[in-house]
Amino acid sequence: MNSSKKITLEDVRQVAELASLELTQEEEAHMQRDLNSILDYVAQLNQLNTTDVPAMAQVSEILSAQSDENIKALREDTRRPSLDRAAVFSFAPETDGVYFKVPKVIER
């Protein structure tokens, strides 16, 4: 997290590609400016020494240490009906009644 390293337009394009976003030129420039400003701000986390601090992904880790009651049981792995196919398909962009339809996947 080196605050002197700035995000370039090329970086923005590469991240957009990873995120499946297609940005206009104008959007690319805006995003470059905003990402640099936000990452500069985020760089202050480097002021903290976190060498021996465990990473916390979510609060359940803390809660389960407080009480066994907080440890959640997953639901029973039993068969149950799925959502009705017609109800799901009725708001899909394109289907053939059995599958979702998409444009061709393999480009020649």
Partner 1 sequence: MTMPSDVQKPMTIEDTRQAIASGSIKAADMAKSFYQTIAAEDPKIHAWLSLSKERALKNAECIDVMASRGDTLPILAGVPVGIKDVLAMQGSPTTAGSKILEGYQPPYDATAVARLEAAGAVLLGKLNCDEFAMGSSNENSAYGPVHNPRSLDRVPGGSSGGSAAAVAAGMAVATVGTDTGGSIRQPASFCGVVGLLPTYGRISRYGLIAFASSLDRVGPFTNTVRDTAILLGVMAGHDPMDATSSPLPVPDYTVDIDKPVKNLRIGIPREYFGEGLDPEVRAAVEKSLDRLRAAGCTLHNVSLPHTEYAIPTYYVLATAEASSNLARFDGVRYGYRTPQADSLSAMYRRTRDGGFGAEVKRRILLGTYVLSAGYYDAYYRKAQQVRMLLTRDYLQAFREVDVLLTPTAPTPAFRLGEKTEDPLAMYLADIYTVTANLAGICGISVPCGTSSKGLPIGAQILGKHFDEATILRVAQALEQQNR
**Which residues are near partner 1 by CB under 8 A?**
1, 7, 11-12, 15-16, 18-24, 27, 30-31, 34-35, 37-39, 41-42, 44-46, 48, 50, 53-60, 62-63, 66, 69-70, 72-76, 83-84, 87-88, 90-94, 100, 102-105, 107
As measured in angstroms, the least distance from the Cβ of 76 to partner 1 is 8
Minimum CB separation from partner 1 for residue 75, in Å? 4
The set of residues, in sequence order, having a beta carbon less than 8 Å from that of 102 and lying 6+ positions away, is 94
Task: Name the residue nearer to partner 1 (CB basis): 48 or 98.
Answer: 48
Q: What is the DSSP letter of 96?
A: -
φ, ψ dihedrals at 59, nearest 5°: -75, -20
Residue 78 CB, shortest distance to partner 1, in Å, is 10
Q: State the number of CA atoms in the 13 A half-sphere of 45 facing the CB.
A: 10
* Minimum CB distance to partner 1, residue 11 (Å): 8
- Burial level of 43, CB count in 10 A (0-12/13-18/19+)? middle
